[in-house]
């Protein structure tokens, strides 16, 4: 079987597409977020990117600060200077919207070579005895079911097209080690690692690799939202947010928080020919914060 990148390059040799791959990135609108950094990295390689995010309030949590439609437009303005990009609003928990997202990618570029599942949130950071069912459910809906729907649709298209591909999901160190106040988040991230392994076992013979990335504490805007990680864990420790951050940095062997670019670099690697024999992995990118 030809490497999927060779097939794509041959198919696009006479087209206007600069790079050899088409990359779908979900959860990519938020400035300073992992999804935006992933899109940036692939564009700099000359790939075409379909950038997606929900763009509207969560029905179950209308006050949660999701990336708005303006954020998606803002991302397009910034990133189009780097290369070929289109945007598409998509609620990853809605099966029909996920199908439409991949239809848009196929209509624009003829197929999909790489999916990077970045859609995520931080809701219900509380002791499990106080965890509301709605908070539990939205974590599973967005980060587990959403990853499943997108990965399944990508796999269907890649398998039908016969050129292989790469499916990458942003999991977490919290998908390997349970953490207090993160029961719903951990459950969703543990779930996507299991999904990754099952899909890898099924799809390897089709030339499709399926991997997860497990970031540690990454310095993104989600850390700072009301009720977010800094606030919750600092309060539990009886410290200010700044003091909590300094102590956290000292606990990480690399002595700093992760950056979105660190995670994007891992996605680029897993999507590359260098990782053609890597599948079913949950790759820690934590500065040593997680070693399991």
Given 64, 109, 185, 230, the catalytic residue: 185
Helix extents (H) in 80-180: 95-109, 133-139, 146-161
- Reading across the β-sheet that carries 165-170, which strands appear in turn? 85-89, 48-53, 22-25, 114-117, 165-170, 208-215, 282-285
Spatial CA neighbour of 146 closest among 101, 178, 85: 101
> How far is C-alpha 224 from the chain's CA centre?
19
With 0-12 / 13-18 / 19 or more C-beta atoms within 10 angstroms meaning exposed / middle / buried, residue 11 is middle
**Which are the contacts of 224, defined by CB distance < 8 A and separation ≥ 6?**
230
| Residue 230 among the catalytic residues | no
Spatial CA neighbour of 225 closest among 127, 136, 125, 91: 125
Look-up of token digits 């820690």: 284
- Residues annotated catalytic, as ranges: 185
């Amino acid at each position: 079987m030809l490497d999927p990148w060779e097939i794509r390059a041959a198919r696009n040799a006479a087209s206007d597409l600069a790079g050899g791959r088409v990359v779908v990135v979900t959860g990519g609108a938020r400035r300073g977020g992992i999804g935006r950094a992933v899109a940036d990295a692939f564009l700099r390689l000359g790939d075409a990117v379909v950038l997606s995010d929900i763009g509207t309030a969560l029905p179950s949590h209308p006050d949660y600060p999701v990336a708005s439609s303006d954020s998606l437009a803002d991302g397009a303005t910034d990133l189009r200077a780097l290369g070929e990009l289109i945007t598409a609003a998509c609620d990853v928990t809605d099966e029909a919207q996920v199908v439409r997202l991949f239809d848009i990618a196929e209509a624009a570029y003829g197929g999909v070579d790489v999916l990077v599942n970045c859609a995520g949130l931080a809701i219900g950071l509380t002791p499990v005895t106080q965890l509301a069912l709605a908070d539990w459910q939205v974590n599973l809906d967005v980060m587990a079911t959403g990853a499943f729907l997108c990965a399944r649709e990508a796999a269907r298209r890649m398998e039908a097209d016969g050129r292989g591909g790469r499916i990458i999901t942003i999991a977490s160190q919290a998908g390997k080690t349970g953490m207090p106040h993160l029961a719903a988040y951990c459950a969703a991230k543990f779930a996507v690692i299991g999904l990754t392994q099952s899909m890898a076992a099924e799809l390897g013979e089709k030339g499709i690799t399926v991997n997860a990335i497990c970031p540690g504490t990454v310095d993104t805007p989600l850390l700072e939202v009301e009720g977010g990680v800094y606030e919750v864990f600092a309060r539990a420790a009886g410290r200010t947010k700044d003091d909590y951050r300094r102590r956290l940095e000292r606990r990480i062997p690399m002595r700093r928080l992760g950056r979105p670019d660190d995670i994007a670099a891992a996605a680029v690697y897993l999507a590359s020919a260098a990782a053609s024999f890597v599948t079913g992995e949950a790759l820690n990118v934590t500065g040593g914060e997680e070693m399991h």
